[in-house]
Amino acid sequence: MDIFITDVDNTIADTRKRMERSLREIGRGEVFEKTRKEFGGFGKFLSEDELDHLWRVFLSDRYVHLDTPEPDSARVLNGLLQRGVRVIYLTGRHDEEGDTMRPGTERWLRENGFPEPGVGGVRLFMKPQRRMNDRKFKVTRLREFMKELGPASKRGVVGIGDMPDDACAYSQARITPILLDWLGLFSREDLLNSAKDVTVLSGWDEVESLIETRYLVYR
């Protein structure tokens, strides 16, 4: 393996505190407990205007500092970087002119000890517009990235995320997919059925073990 691509939200960052605070910001804090075990269940309880307000608050730098690093994730990514593996962040967070999460995201990564974008070949890929579909962006950006690599794309590239759409995006770009279910937002069955070549793990300690035994052993 030469390149390791990772999602951010709910893959290396636990966003539950940010979501709870964002719901309180729009005056609907009670919805958090009703949806904490169900990804995207807000539509049952919020109007369209409330949903739009929620995403404007949640998808901003305002409360990014509340995100909690997933245990072991920073250590594993730094270990990969030290062994010569390129680390790439691929996130549905947006970097739109006048409306960007880049400063807050980069600050959070730095303050929590993650490999920093722009240092040692580390890169951060973000959506160009907030309202752009996450899956469409990830598929397009991954394909562009693999094309940028040229012949190097034949080498090992592994990607990790937390949603079925992440596995689909990686597979469509011919990248080996790993999914995490540490927050329980999706059933393991749904994750396993998201792509034929997906591996589902419970945490970054398992990710580290898999990488060591399957992807770095012949490096």
pLDDT of residue 184: 85
Burial of residue 92 (CB within 10 Å: 0-12, 13-18, 19+) is buried
In b/e form, how buried is each residue of 161-178, taking b as 16+ CB within 10 angstroms? Answer: bbbbbbbbbbbbbebbbb
Question: DSSP readout, 147-209?
Answer: HHHGGGGGS-EEEEESSHHHHHHHHHTT-EEEEE-TT-SS-HHHHHTS-TT-EEESSHHHHHH
Q: In this model, does residue 212 exceed pLDDT 70?
A: yes
Identify the pLDDT of residue 98: 92
Range(s) within the chain of domains with CATH label 3.40.50.1000: 3-14+68-215
| Burial class, 50, CB count within 10 angstroms (exposed 0-12 / middle 13-18 / buried 19+) | middle
- pLDDT tops 80 at residue 218: no
DSSP reduced 3-state for 130 = coil
Tell me what pLDDT residue 201 has.
Answer: 96
Half-sphere exposure of 120 (CA within 13 A, CB side): 16
Q: Is the pLDDT of residue 57 over 50?
A: yes
pLDDT tens per residue, range 1-33: 899 999 999 999 999 999 999 999 999 999 998
Contact between residue 179 and residue 166 where contact means Cβ atoms under 8 Å apart = yes
**Contact partners, residue 136, CB within 8 Å, separation at least 6:** none
Q: Are 165 and 212 in contact (CB under 8 A)?
A: no
Which class does domain 3-14+68-215 fall in?
alpha beta
Nearest Cα to 208, choosing from 196, 198, 217? 217
Per residue in 157-180, pLDDT (tens digit) is 999 999 999 999 999 999 999 999
Question: Minimal CA–CA distance to 117: which of 133, 101, 136?
Answer: 101
